[in-house]
Amino acid sequence: MDDLEFRTRAFSNPLDDQADFISATETDAARRQLVHELKAMEHQLKESLNATPVPGDLREKLLAHANDTSQEGAAKHSSFRRLPYAAAATVVLGVFLGINLVQSRPSAQDLEFHDALVEHLYHEEPRYYSSTSPDWSDVMSVSAAAGAELTATPELMALKMQFANYCNLGTDQQGAHLVTIGEHGPVSIVFIKNTPVSKRITIKDSRFQGQIIPTEQGNMAVIGEKSEQLDRYEKLLTDNLHWSI
């Protein structure tokens, strides 16, 4: 089972007990971690449903509304008074939380982009050290070719750049892959002017951490080693990024 199929099934049903899904989970530590996190979310949802208090005056309000509608209607539907109000409130809350949980999950397209990006990082890493470190004119040129224009502020120019090259990540649109040196290793910065992901995507990998950030006309990714502080890079780049038309 490839990573895209695994992630699609995990997000749709982390409690999947099919033999192929269980086998695919047990053979990879990162997959086990993902399933563990998704199961924890499912458990939290169930706990929220069971622990949600029902307003004490809910029954009276519903009955008052029914009585105000008409006496005849109230007589016809007297069984309404026996409605299990706690269950009704729980169902409404469950639908609300369920919709939010589904909406919080990345789409299959998002997951495909995530996996292509992580695979690209591993593939390109040997080139970080075998190529000549670029100057900032090279960095600006590569970024601009991908439609991502950077403002040359002193803070941005202070970054020590190790690598700048083009990438496409399996899409028709050319992207830019930049690498700067962080405190704990290389920090990859990727710009690609394709359809923005549906929400911020956290990188799920045994080695790397980071975020894929949707922007107005494309995606930006900031990814580094697990111990790297990436917030400052994300803010610095976001503040100085402009997509060309």
Tell me how many domains the chain contains: 3
Tell me the DSSP string of 176-243: EEEEEE-SSSEEEEEEE-SPPPSS-EE---SSEEEEEEE-SSSEEEEEEETT---HHHHHHHHHTEEE
pLDDT at 132: 85
**Same structural domain for residues 145 and 170?**
yes
Confidence band for 229, pLDDT divided at 50, 70 and 90: very high
pLDDT at 155: 94
pLDDT at 180 over 60: yes
- 39 to each of 10, 33, 36, 43, 46, how far by Cα in Å? 9, 10, 5, 6, 11
Q: Which two tokens stand for residue 10?
A: 């995990």
Average pLDDT, the chain: 80
How many angstroms separate the CA atoms of 71 and 74, rounded? 5
Residue 164 near residue 139, CB atoms below 8 Å: yes
pLDDT at 50: 63
pLDDT at 31: 83
DSSP letter at 81? G
H or E stretch including 104? none
pLDDT at 140: 94
CATH of the domain at 160: 3.30.200.100
Per-residue pLDDT averaged across 159-179, rounded?
A: 88
**Same structural domain for residues 239 and 125?**
yes
**Same structural domain for residues 85 and 68?**
yes
- Domain span at residue 44? 3-51
pLDDT at 190: 96
Q: What is the pLDDT of residues 37-65, one digit of tens each?
A: 787 777 667 666 666 666 666 667 666 76
**Of 138, 128, 113, nearest to 204 (Cα)?**
113
Per-residue pLDDT averaged across 225-235, rounded?
A: 94
**Same structural domain for residues 12 and 66?**
no
Percent of the chain at pLDDT above 90? 39
Point out which residues pair with 241 in neighbouring strands.
150
Least confident range from 24-38, 47-61, 140-154, 214-228: namely 47-61
pLDDT at 100 over 70: no
pLDDT at 80: 43
How many angstroms separate the CA atoms of 175 and 162, rounded? 17
Per-residue pLDDT averaged across 66-77, rounded?
A: 56
pLDDT at 96: 47
| Boundary residue ending a domain (51, 72, 91) | 51
